[in-house]
């Protein structure tokens, strides 16, 4: 994402505050189970693999685009993100997008 965002944390969650559209995101540090309601940002939970923070997201409502080109997804979307701090000024970001209804 080209716009700035901030990362905050507590003992139970990590919180992303995005500049774009004032969006916020909670990443639970224990799997909370299925989302009670699907949403445009889904439900996320994360864990550490060494120096990499891994986020699993699901529970999307299928009403958003993946990008500005209009590439879409269904409510079956699952996203795995990996954040690795490379040095004090560089963070590596990787995302794996899976959706059996759209990408097969």
Give the pLDDT of residue 78.
95
Residue 96 to residues 56, 62, 87, Cα–Cα distance (Å): 10, 17, 23
Q: What is the rounded CA–CA span in Å between residue 88 and residue 77?
A: 32
CA gap 82, 98 in Å, rounded:
15
Q: For position 23, what pLDDT does the model report?
A: 84
Parallel/antiparallel/unpaired status of strands 24-28 and 43-49: parallel
pLDDT of res. 86: 97
Domain boundaries, the chain: 5-98
Q: With a threshold of 0.95, does the pTM exceed it?
A: no
Residuewise pLDDT in 10s, the chain (104 residues): 577 889 999 999 999 998 877 888 999 999 888 888 888 889 999 999 999 999 999 999 988 888 888 888 999 999 999 999 999 999 999 999 999 999 87
| Residues 39, 50 contacting (CB under 8 angstroms) | no
pLDDT value, residue 1: 53
Residue 13 neighbours by CB under 8 Å, 6+ apart = 26, 27, 28, 29
């Amino acid at each position: 994402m080209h716009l700035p965002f901030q990362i905050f944390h507590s003992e139970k969650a990590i919180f992303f505050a995005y500049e774009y559209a004032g969006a916020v995101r909670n990443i639970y540090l224990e799997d909370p189970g299925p989302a009670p309601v699907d949403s445009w940002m889904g439900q996320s939970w994360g864990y550490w693999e060494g120096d990499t923070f891994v986020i699993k997201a699901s529970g999307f409502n299928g009403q958003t685009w993946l990008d500005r080109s209009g590439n879409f997804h269904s409510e079956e979307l699952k996203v795995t993100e990996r954040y690795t701090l490379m040095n004090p000024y560089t963070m590596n970001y990787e995302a794996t997008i899976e959706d059996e209804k759209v990408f097969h």
